[in-house]
Copies of this chain bind each other. A is one copy, B any other.
């Protein structure tokens, strides 16, 4: 089940831990009924942080899985690119 992106695994986990903390911070802000605009600003920060995680994961996926598939043959390449394009489309929308 290992997919060979161990290199940045620690970095991804650290980012996700920080995002978890930010989401708990959002709960506190809502609990305390802080000002809506301040909460919205913080939600935007979390969204940006998640976007960075996505782009980092995508970068590794391209460098490992897409490159390997391209070298394995046309069919493998085509399938892998269809799959990654679907993921990019979900990211963009």
A residues near B, CB below 8 A? Answer: 1-6, 9, 12-13, 16-17, 19-20, 23-24, 26-27, 30-37, 39-41, 43-44, 46-47, 50-51, 53-55, 57-63, 65-67, 70-71, 77-78, 81, 83-85, 87-93
Contact = CB atoms under 8 A, between A and B. Distances in A.
B61 A37 contact: yes
Nearest to A16: B27
A67 B85 contact: no
A62 B72 CA distance: 15
Nearest to A2: B33
Given A20-B20, A37-B87, A63-B78, A43 B57 contact: yes
Contacts of A87: 37, 40-41, 44
